[in-house]
Amino acid sequence: MTGTVAILDCYTVEPSGLGVPPYLSTYVRDAFSALRRGWPGVSVRYLTVDDVRWCLNGGEPFQPASLTDPLTYSATGNRAEAVKVLRDAEVVVVIAGGKVPSVHLHAQNGTQEEIARALSCVRGQRVLLGPLGTYALAEPQSYAGLFDAVHTHTITSRNVLLGSTGSASYEDLRADRDAYDELLAQMTWPVIAEIELYRGCTRRQFCSFCNEPVKNWRVTFRTTDDVLDEIARLYRAGVRNFRLGQQTCFFSYLNRDIEQIGTLLAQVREQCPDLEVLHIDNADPLAVASKSGARIAQLVARYCTDGNCAPMGVESFDLVVIARNSLTCTPEVLLRAVAHVNEAGGRIGPRGVPQLLPGLNLVYGLPGETHRTHFENMTWLVRILDEGLLCHRTNIRQARAYPGTPLAEDRGQTSPPSGEHFTTWKEDISQVYEVPMKQRVYPTGNTIRGLHSFFVSHQGTWYRRLGSYPIQVVERDVARSLYEPADLVVTGHVARHIFGRRDA
- pLDDT for position 412: 55
DSSP tag of 467: S
141 C-beta neighbours (distance < 10 Å), count? 5
Closest CA to 356 of 382, 383, 393: 393
Question: To which H or E segment does residue 94 belong?
Answer: strand 91-98
pLDDT beneath 70: ranges in the chain: 1-2, 59-71, 99-102, 208-211, 213-217, 402, 404-408, 410-414, 504
pLDDT tens digits, 273-305? 999 999 999 999 999 999 999 999 999 999 999
Q: How far, in Å, CA of 353 to CA of 441, rounded?
A: 8
**Contact yes or no for 455/404 (Cβ under 8 A):** no
Domains along the sequence of the chain with CATH: 1-62+69-189 (3.40.50), 443-502 (2.40.50)
Q: Tell if the pTM clears 0.85, that is, is over it.
A: yes
Q: How far, in Å, CA of 99 to CA of 111, rounded?
A: 13
Q: How far, in Å, CA of 144 to CA of 131, rounded?
A: 17
**Contact yes or no for 428/374 (Cβ under 8 A):** yes
Closest CA to 36 of 77, 4, 10: 4
Q: How far, in Å, CA of 154 to CA of 164, rounded?
A: 8
Q: CA 407, 408, 414, 415 torsion: positive or negative?
A: positive
Q: How far, in Å, CA of 24 to CA of 243, rounded?
A: 10
pLDDT tens digits, 392-443? 999 998 887 767 666 667 655 668 899 899 999 999 999 999 999 999 999 9
